[in-house]
Structure 1
Amino acid sequence: MIGMENNDEIIFHQRLKDQISVIRGTVNSSTVERGEDTVESIYLYGNDFVDIVAPEFAKQTGYKIEAVHYGGGEALAKIEAEQGNPQWDVVMMDGHGSIRNLADRGFLMTDWTPENIGNLTEYGSSLVPEDHAYTPISIHASAVIAYNTNRLTKEQAPKTWDEFFEYKGTAGQADPAVAAPAYPLVSALFYKWGIDQGEQKYAQMMGNGLRVYPKNGPLGSALVSGEIDIAALQESNAYDLKLSGEPVDLIWPEEGTALLGTLIGASLAMTDLPADYWG
């Protein structure tokens, strides 16, 4: 688990700009060809931010782009199902382990570097793999402690994961079997506490009424509505709710939290495109 300083809205929105920039460097044409078909759109599969990034990308570049918004698990399942006939051109999602797995199994184009790779920070550059199968665009917390400000004050909200799991009111988290960001959090907590203590803490919290939601979106909605008081909510969802004026604030746990990388990769099918596609 790694501690991070409390981010502000400038950092939050800068991430969106970074994502648009990397996609622009990844795809440099408005036409994608698959066999005999010509598709006048770039197809982007992803989870967080694709609905925001796609129209902004189109506005800045003039290229047509179709963003298909999935949960992390759904996107991976779709890519698996389409492996014989990929319908996607670019994947953008958090879950560096999952994207690395796609690369290792030959789903992603390798040995190509975006022309704007220099926009990465020194740390970002250190995360670029040797085979250049994907480009890292951000790193964020798989979960922070978010709370409903109509139900709790900052002083009353848990400040650590131990306090979160000892909370006697209504609490929620995303399902680690479905929501991509939830799995690293649960893994980190079990690493922190050990298997036996981790199981005890989850059993205790389930007994106190822990509510598990399929994704971070419904989890955030439950927090806003007051259905739950606190949530182990993905950082981006928590900031989005806060900056939208919802009764939500967040706390970075004192002992830190699990971090998750967001990556962009291109389909292996794109290597069959003519040379002038890449500009």
Structure 2
Amino acid sequence: MKKLYKVMMSLALVSLAAGCASGGNEQVKNANEGTKPVDSAKEVKEVSGTVNLYTSESQDLVNEMIQDFKKKQPKIDVKIYRSGTGAVISKIEAEQMGGAIQADVIWFADIDYYSKLAKKGMLEKYDSPEAANLDKRYAYEDGKYYEVRQIFNVIGYNTLKIKNAPKSWQDLGSPEYKGKVAIANPNYSGAAFLTLASLVNTNGMGWDYFSSLKNNGVKFEQSNGNLTSKLATGEYYGVSVVDFMVRNAKNSGSPVEIAWPSEGSVLIPTPVGIISGSKNKEASQKLMDYLLSTDGQKFFVKQGYIPVKGDAGAPEGSPKLDSIKVMPLDMKFLEDNRESLKTKFGELFSEAK
């Protein structure tokens, strides 16, 4: 009997164990069913398309920037039309007269023109998530266009030709620079036009300053890039030029240096905006996001630009922002005198037309 009892108990334990195993498997099955992957329809949509970018930015630097952008957005192509600010504006206006602007994104140095486009409803308001912590002064007209990095027009000089650094804009009109001073053509360069307007509108400067440059044999170049190259070779001793180009040339070993004029440097706004009605709006927004992102801002620093986000760092050799004296940019003066400035400049410098 004892033997039979032991056999029956053994069978009961086996049965119980099997039942528990079965119940456990069922619980595991139920648990797995309760953690099925989320429906793929909820995944973020990948953006694709082609963005037509019209810009006055340096060709090599904007190409580098777009290549870095495409690493993040490989399905977005960017077609670049690059020329001086004046030529870019002429292309936009010709296309507008022809029925439709072909650009999706614009990026050049004429903030007054952006303001005009915005007033006509021709720029798309975009609240970029990357602009959430951006200083409001860089989000123009509540996000219709944005500043993405900062450049300044300054004096660049060749350290092999000029031993005592210039301290004032007026120094470029001194005998030391006679026949060896140059500026960019304001009819072509947006930065040069803003510098023209700022200096003409500054007490103690005005058109007399540009007359002094004329008397000193001032030369003209179409672009800041040409100015920097000829400054590095010593063809020019001093030039009015954008800061990052001189900084990059110096860091590459050229005998050039930046002088920050006592009257103030000229801040050159170069906004980025999306054209209203763009057929590639989502892709254009992704490009804007990138330019304002930490990655984009750090890439600007790598290229020698001062970023609009302080946490991105600063380029080698750049001053602290709060140490830079800047001439005020009078937008009303710029708007009211755009054509008269061009006319007067053309009369004074017929060779620069």
Deviation at 1:44, TM superposition (A): 1.2
Q: What one-letter code is carried by the residue in structure 2 that aligns with 1:174?
A: A
> How many Å apart are 1:134 and its aligned residue?
0.9
Cα distance between partner residues in 1 of 2:271 and 2:285: 20
Q: Which has the higher contact order (CA 8 A, sep 6+)?
A: 1
Match of 2:151 among 140, 157, 160: 140
* 2:193 corresponds to 1:183: yes
Does residue 115 of structure 1 match 2:115? no
CA distance in 2: counterparts of 1:242 and 1:231, whole angstroms: 15
- Over alpha carbons, which structure has the higher Rg? 2
Preserved CA contact (<8 Å) 1:86 1:269: no
State the partner residue of 2:159.
149
8 Å CA contact retained: 1:29, 1:277: no
Deviation at 1:239, TM superposition (A): 2.2
SS at match of 2:250: helix
CA shift, 1:119, in A, is 4.5
Unaligned 5+ runs, structure 1: 1-27, 32-40
Tell me, yes or no, if the aligned pair for 1:107 and 1:267 is still in contact at 8 Å. yes
Alignment match, 1:30:
48
- TM-fit CA distance, 1:247: 2.4
> Structure 2 length as normaliser, TM-score?
0.60
The change in CA–CA distance for 1:43 and 1:159 in structure 2 (over 3 A counts) is: same
1:56 aligns with 2:74: no
8 Å Cα contact 2:184/2:192 also seen in 1: yes
Deviation digits for residues 198-234 of structure 1 (CA, Å, limit 9, x no counterpart)? 3333223212211121221222222122211010111
Change (3 A) 1:82 1:277: closer
Alpha-carbon distance between aligned partners in 2 of 1:114 and 1:236, rounded to the nearest angstrom: 26
Matched, 1:42 2:51: yes
Classify the secondary structure of the residue corresponding to 1:192: coil
Q: Choose from 99, 104, 119 the match for 1:104.
A: 119
Corresponding residue for 1:72? 85
> 1:124-177, CA deviations, whole angstroms, 9 ceiling, x for partnerless residues?
x23423453212212321x11101123223xx2311112222243211111112
Alpha-carbon distance in 1 for matches of 2:282, 2:106:
21
2:35 aligned partner: none
AA aligned opposite 2:91: K
Q: Which has the higher strand share?
A: 1
Q: What residue number does 2:263 align with? A: 255
CA contact (8 A) 1:29 1:278 kept: no
User: Could you tell me whether the CA contact under 8 Å between 1:50 and 1:68 is conserved in 2?
Assistant: no
Q: Secondary structure at the match of 1:150?
A: coil
Distance in 1 between the 2:103 and 2:81 partners? 9
Distance 1:162 1:30, change over 3 A: same
Say how many residue pairs are matched: 233
Distance in structure 1 (CA, Å) of the matches to 2:147 and 2:174: 36
- Output the CA distance in 1 between the equivalents of 2:115 and 2:207: 29
User: For the structure 1 residues 135 and 199, does the alpha-carbon distance in structure 2 shift closer, same or farther, using more than 3 Å as the test?
Assistant: closer
* Residue 201 (structure 1) aligned with residue 197 (structure 2): no
Q: Once the two structures are aligned, what percentage of the paired residues are identical?
A: 27
Alignment-derived partner of residue 81 in structure 1: 94
Q: Aligned pair in 2 of structure 1 residues 79, 243: CA closer, same or farther (>3 Å)?
A: farther
Q: Pick from 218, 231, 236: which aligns with 2:239?
A: 231
Is 1:42–1:64's contact at 8 Å kept on the other side of the alignment? yes
1:183 deviates by 1.5
Report the 3-state secondary structure (helix = DSSP H, G, I; strand = E; otherwise coil) of the residue aligned with 1:151.
coil
Higher helix share: 2
Evaluate the alpha carbon distance shift between residue 219 and residue 278 of structure 1 in structure 2; reply closer, same or farther with a 3 A threshold: closer
* 1:245 Cα offset (Å): 2.6
